[in-house]
Amino acid sequence: MKKQLLVVLTAALCLAGSLAVAQNGAIERKNGIVEQEPNGIPAPVNYLYPDNSDKKPSDFEATRKNLQEMRMLQDGAKIRQIKLVSYDEYVKEAEKDGGSIVQNMEVHPKRQFFMVDIEAPEIEIPQRRVDKGEPQSVKIKNARIKQVYDAETGEIFGSGITGSK
């Protein structure tokens, strides 16, 4: 009976201790580390897309070359600029351009990306009409397309188009 009481008391004390930690705003991670952020918002410990800012731009040259040889450009479209930026810089640039972006918390702020700026006199974007199911297309004149690619993997992360109909 004493052993059972001791186990119950130990479990109760551990539970009370973890409640006290939770009340103080600390977050317990899978690896057992307890972290406290000053604003109460936990910072990710393990990013799906970790920091790669220690790599040289030449390490991403294969991705840059693939972007420069894009085959998806329509007639008359041309790449204005391919710029290597951190994810944090990309978010600030998107907000500066008037767009709203939800920051991806799985991406480290220093992760490197290529921002590709494309201009086209006119592009056609296929769309499906909901009411009839027939393919439609929208033509945009004086289009500016901004795409963001992960510098390490070449994976596209986002795209935005501005212009006039």
Q: Report the distance separating Cα 76 and Cα 119, nearest Å.
A: 9
For 32: left if phi > 0, alpha if psi spans -120 to 50, otherwise beta; the answer is left
What is the identity of the amino acid at 58?
Answer: S
Q: Report the distance separating Cα 136 and Cα 117, nearest Å.
A: 26
pLDDT at 41: 57
Judgement on whether residues 82 and 23 belong to the same structural domain of the protein? no
Q: How many domains does the chain have?
A: 2
pLDDT at 20: 37
Q: Report the CATH number at residue 141.
A: 3.10.450
Judgement on whether residues 6 and 66 belong to the same structural domain of the protein? no
Judgement on whether residues 29 and 72 belong to the same structural domain of the protein? no
Domain span including residue 26: 2-35
User: Does 17 map to a domain?
Assistant: yes
> Contact, 128 vs 136, CB < 8 A?
yes
User: Does 40 map to a domain?
Assistant: no
Average pLDDT over residues 40-62: 84
User: Does 91 map to a domain?
Assistant: yes
pLDDT digits (tens, 9 = 90+) for 61-75: 999 999 888 766 767
pLDDT category of residue 40 using cuts at 50, 70 and 90: low
Average pLDDT over residues 3-10: 36
CA separation, residue 113 to residues 77, 83, 105 (Å): 22, 8, 15
Judgement on whether residues 72 and 147 belong to the same structural domain of the protein? yes
* pTM higher than the cut 0.85: no
Judgement on whether residues 135 and 70 belong to the same structural domain of the protein? yes
User: Does 12 map to a domain?
Assistant: yes
